[in-house]
């Protein structure tokens, strides 16, 4: 008996706004820029990479490359993609335990 397994893909589970925002917030809390870019890429794939690329004014290929594990997107690219995903970037003061 063999099992037909496929790799787990976060994009398959990002099917509502609450899940998307929680996923992105967790990535930002981790603080790893590569993880944040990859998480944004997962959300873009969940929403449809071609549609996101068009809305962001980028080619699909450059978007895949920028948001891949080895990518290093510019801040301008990140902002364009977030805008295309209808996600606002906001800031709050970090309160450290003293």
- In this model, does residue 98 exceed pLDDT 70? no
**Whole-angstrom distance, CA of residue 96 vs CA of residue 47:** 35
Average pLDDT of span 11-28: 94
* 21-74 pLDDT, tens digit each: 999 999 999 989 989 999 999 999 999 999 999 999 999 999 999 988 788 999
Q: Is 95 helix (H, G, I), strand (E, B) or coil?
A: coil
Quickly state the pLDDT bin for 79 (edges 50, 70, 90): very high
Could you tell me if 81 and 40 are in contact, meaning their C-beta atoms sit under 8 angstroms apart?
yes
pTM: 0.85
* 60-77 pLDDT, tens digit each: 999 999 988 788 999 999
CB < 8 Å & 24+ apart, contacts of 86-89: 87/20, 87/21, 87/24, 87/43
């Amino acid at each position: 008996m063999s099992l037909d397994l496929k790799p787990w893909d976060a994009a398959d589970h990002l099917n509502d706004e609450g899940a998307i925002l929680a996923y992105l917030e967790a990535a930002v809390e981790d603080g790893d820029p590569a993880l944040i870019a990859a998480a944004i890429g997962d959300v873009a794939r969940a929403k449809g990479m071609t549609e996101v690329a068009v809305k962001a004014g980028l080619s699909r290929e450059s978007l895949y490359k920028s948001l891949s594990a080895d990518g290093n997107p510019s801040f301008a690219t990140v902002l364009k993609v977030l805008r295309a995903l209808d996600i606002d970037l906001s800031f709050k003061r970090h309160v450290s335990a003293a």
